[in-house]
Structure 1
Amino acid sequence: MDLLLSRLPPGFIDRAPFEAAWIARRQDGTYGTRPAQLQLLALLPAEDAWPQLSPVCDLRLSSAPVAFLLTLDHWASRLERYGRIRESAALLPYLIFQTAGDPWTCPDHEAADGRVARVLPDKPVPSIVDWRWTCRCTVLQVSRRQLLARGLTPPD
């Protein structure tokens, strides 16, 4: 959440109540429900108060508060996944960057589609791209054999 909030003006979101509600909704399993989303949106500034969110990956979204919630959810899921990636790095040491594969993907991420990075168990998971607001792109973790079978070259 720190990285995401650092992209907004200082103090723009009253962090304590928002973070408490967000964590509670994720822990009680109601996060994806409409009432939980409305509760979280009510804790955010009004639509017209938001700065321009940039850079944005999925250009379909026009609501900044909704884009913030989606990005927060994507980044939280990505951090959880990065822990699992590091745990299995000895068997699956490569990441392949993949876009959502639709017309709404930003050009920078489209250009990085298929890029390969190596994961080392004792190092942070490498960042292949700059994750953007509302980004739906992901990484696929594969072995050397799987990487070669896809016709890709290991970076090492």
Structure 2
Amino acid sequence: MLLAVPLQVAFIPLARLFGELGIFGTVFGVILFHTAFGLPFAIFLMRNFFTQIPSELLEAARIDGASEWRIFARVVLPLGGPAIASLAIFQFLWTWNDMLVALIFTNSQSQPLTVAIQSQLRQFGANLDVLSSGAFLSMILPLVVFFAFQRYFVQALLAGSQR
């Protein structure tokens, strides 16, 4: 259900709540916002991936005497690596490129790079070469994250088609 709620609906109530809690305009407030709105997608993605793990594999580990934590650490997590990597890519790119939440919930001391580049538009509006080079530099980290996890991302995409 929370996937169907647009995050713009929550801006005013959460801004009031964050103001009362004293975390409005802080990095912690932005992290809390992205965590709260990223959890529904994370739960949906991970649940659907982990339900595809064969129950026979888990039963075999139980017969061998493994505890539930050991099964989780030694069987489920290694098999869930592609899904975790896909979630990490999606969540990182969503938070890195999000400018609307950063504009509302941060102040000038805790601006992310997207808001800082946008705020430079007034000063360097005529010099688009300065802004475009800053935007290009802001793309380096997402590209590094994507290429680092690309192998796992492709495995997760192909996992459902191997039956």
Bigger fraction of residues in helix: 2
Q: Relative contact order, CA 8 A, sep 6+: which one is greater?
A: 2
Structure having the higher strand fraction is: 1
**TM over 0.5: same fold?**
no
Q: TM-score, normalised by structure 2?
A: 0.30
Q: Computing the radius of gyration over CA atoms, which structure comes out larger, 1 or 2?
A: 2
